[in-house]
Structures are given as C-alpha cells and as structure tokens.
Structure 1
Amino acid sequence: MTRVRVRQHVNPLSDQYRNPVTPPDWSQIYSEITQPLHLDIGCARGKFLLKMATLYPDINFLGTEIREPLVTEANHHRDNLGLSNLHFIFCNINHSFEPILQSLPQGVLQWVTIQFPDPWFKQRHSKRRVVQCELVEAIARYLKNEGVVFLQSDVEFVQNEMVKHFQNNSHFTQEPLETNPFPVPTEREIATHNKKQPVYRTLFKKS
C-alpha cells in the first residue's frame, strides 16, 4: 500500500467533524472483547499501536484519529499483520468518546495515551486542542479505577495545559515519572530525540 499524504492540520471545529461516530460491532473487531483496553487518542499512522498490539496480545488497542486516510492506512497494516486485538477508528474524539466507550464492555478501559497532539499554537485556536475539560471528565467516567493516563508533547505550553486540565479533575492523581512507561516510542518521539530536543511527559492515575 502506498504511503498516504494528508494535511498536517485538520480543524476539529469544522462541521464535518462534529458528528459522533457510529461504533462498529466490537465482537467482529476483537477476538477477546473483554480484554483490558488501551486507547491512544490522536494515533496518526498508528505505528505505536501496531507495535504495542504485537507485543501485548492480551490487551486490546484502539487508536482514534481525525484524519481519515491515516485510519484507512493503519487498518490496512493491521490486517496485513493479522492482529485481532487492534482497531483504528476515524473520529473527532471530543464528539465520539462517549459513544465509543458506551458501546464497549463496562470497565475495560485501563490505559489512555495522548501523545504529541496538534499544538494549535495561536491562543485563539485553543479550543481546537484535543485535551479539553469535557474530554477529561469523560475519561474519568469510563477509565477503570487505578487506570492510567499518559501525556507527552514536545511543546512545553501544550504539555502544561494538558496537565492542568487533569490536575483540575479530582479523579486524577499525578504519579512520579522519569521515563516513558511504554516500551515503544512514537515516530514524533524518535524524531524529537534525534534532534536532541526535550520531550515533556506526565502520568496520571485515576484514584
């Protein structure tokens, strides 16, 4: 399959991205639907999850992405690898988080990762950033007790803003963190390290 070229920025406030997604029949997606779930929000080309799903067959992985061609490409690679614990879905997560989680077995969500989200540098575009208080509240409702949220970015003010949203929610406690808790780095993480630039990371646990 030819690598798809797509726009780097997609405005999530556009009308075309406001409709909630219709979730698939998960029993046709995952071979073991009740396994713990790792949700990666803004998964881009999905390389992080493709590797994670290969390493951890006893965990289900779900990647959400607002750029549809990347989702099509990622699911194609998943099929080539024969992975039955991984799916990618095209959606605006701020409008589709609840429909997706309501359609899954209760209590399966155990990990959430939000890695290198689009920074939308201008302050007037702040509402376009993926982490909003409403999303944090929804994650708190569906994340399993002791479940984990991992945030990372190469843009310090974006990381600080995401962290503040989770700190302001009483369901989350910030945990000590020295390195990436996952064994697979994202493409952006690798590129940032190669440029010898900092990566900002924060871990929260639902208490």
Structure 2
Amino acid sequence: MSVVRVREHVNPLSKKYQTPVSPPDWQTVYAQPDQPLHLDIGCGKGRFLLTLAQVQPDWNFLGLEIREPLVDQANNWRTEAGLNNLHYLFCNVNNSLRPILTSVPPNTLQRVSIQFPDPWFKRKQQKRRVVQPELVTELAEFLVSGGTVFLQSDVLEVAEEMRDRFDQHSAFQRQQHDWLAVNPLTVPTERETSTLERGEPVYRVVFDRV
C-alpha cells in the first residue's frame, strides 16, 4: 500500500479552495445508497474509514478531505479493497458541506466524526479551523434525530473549542460531562494510535442530535 506525501497543512481560506464541490450521483457511488451514512470530516489518508467500512458493511462511509492527492490515493485503496460502501471526496468543508449534505439521500446521515483537525495554533489563523459555528449549524440541519457527532483531538485547546461550539447549539446534547476514556468507534486513527503510544492524552466527546 503505497503512500502519497503531501503538505501537512492546507489553508482552507486560500483562493484555490473557494469553489464548492459538485457532489457525485450517490446512486452510482454506493451499492445501497439508503444505508445509514457515516461522514468523516478531514479524513486524511482515509485508513480509518477503510477499516470501518469493512467492519460495518451495513453502513455507508464518506470521507471529506481538502488535500486532493490523499483523496485520489484513498479511493484507489477503496477500489483495490472492492468496497462499495465507501467513498472519499476532495472538497473544502467550509463551503461544500451544505451542497454535499443536500445531495445525499434524505435521513441517511446518522454519524459524523471530526478527528484530530489541524490545530492552527496562531490566533490569527484560528479562523481556518474546521469546526466553525456555521459547520455546527449545518450538521444540526442534516443529521437525523438521535444521530451522533464524535470529536477528538490531542490538543486540549482544540478539543475544548470543538466541544464548546457543539455545546452552544441547542440541537446537540453531550453524552457525558467528562472526556471519554475510550474511542466508542473502536477503530483508531493513525494519529490516535501514535499519540497513545507516546503516552499522551486524547480528548474525546460524543454529542447526540436531539
């Protein structure tokens, strides 16, 4: 399984990424388009979804990623694995989430994950972070009642900001007060594995769409 090397950080506010994506025809993407959909925002190399799609064949999985070479590579891996419940899409979530969610079969979005997003530590760059109030509002609109949002980061400040933005929206309710000790999805990302192997903490939280 060859790996493409790309830039670690991409500025979503740059002119290159301001054209919203045109979603594909989901009837041709998934063998069973009406299955429950798990959306992974900022899927990186896509290996997390590649594993999860094999473990949960009764779900469809969609990974969104702003680094196009990683998307091409991940879709190649998907094809090699013969999976018809998995797709990766190159896009800027800041301007493409709504057209994507408008296009998927209605009432299928049941689970969302946002894992280890770029922290953008400098204050002037924090507007580049993926979890903005607009994203929370759009997920609230399209996520089914009882659906879940799973957030995790190894940067406390980022985890707290993501948590607080979902806390502030009336459509979401946190499952528990403290950080989760265990990943409820059971399949770790590469970043999660390497962080835990170094003995460093991962901050996790799950929200329900109420």
The alignment's TM-score, normalised by the length of structure 2, stands at: 0.97
Q: 5+ residue gaps in structure 2?
A: none
Residue equivalent to 2:151? 151
Residue equivalent to 1:205? 208
Work out the CA distance in 1 between the residues paired with 2:182 and 2:109. Answer: 23
**1:183 maps onto 2:194 in alignment:** no
**1:127 shift after superposition:** 0.6
SS of 1:131 mapped into structure 2: coil
Work out the CA distance in 2 between the residues paired with 1:168 and 1:61. Answer: 27
Residue equivalent to 2:14? 14
Residue equivalent to 2:40? 40
Work out the CA distance in 1 between the residues paired with 2:206 and 2:58. Answer: 23
Matching residue's letter, 1:26: W
What RMSD over aligned residues (CA atoms) do the two structures have, in Å? 0.8
Aligned pairs for 1:46-85 (under 5 A) are 46-85=46-85
Q: Deviations over 1:69-119 (max 9, x none)?
A: 000000000000000000000001111111111111111000000000000
SS of 1:110 mapped into structure 2: strand
Work out the CA distance in 2 between the residues paired with 1:55 and 1:157. Answer: 32
**1:183 shift after superposition:** 1.4
Segments of 4+ moved more than 4 angstroms: none
Aligned pairs for 1:156-175 (under 5 A) are 156-175=156-175
SS of 1:39 mapped into structure 2: strand
Residue equivalent to 2:142? 142
Matching residue's letter, 1:202: V
**1:2 shift after superposition:** 3.5
**1:133 maps onto 2:133 in alignment:** yes
SS of 2:131 mapped into structure 1: coil
Q: Deviations over 1:136-177 (max 9, x none)?
A: 000000000010000000000000000111011000000024
Residue identity over aligned pairs, in percent, reads: 56
Matching residue's letter, 1:138: E
Aligned length: 207
SS of 1:173 mapped into structure 2: strand
Residue equivalent to 2:3? 3
Work out the CA distance in 1 between the residues paired with 2:11 and 2:169. Answer: 26
Q: 5+ residue gaps in structure 1?
A: none
**1:178 shift after superposition:** 3.7
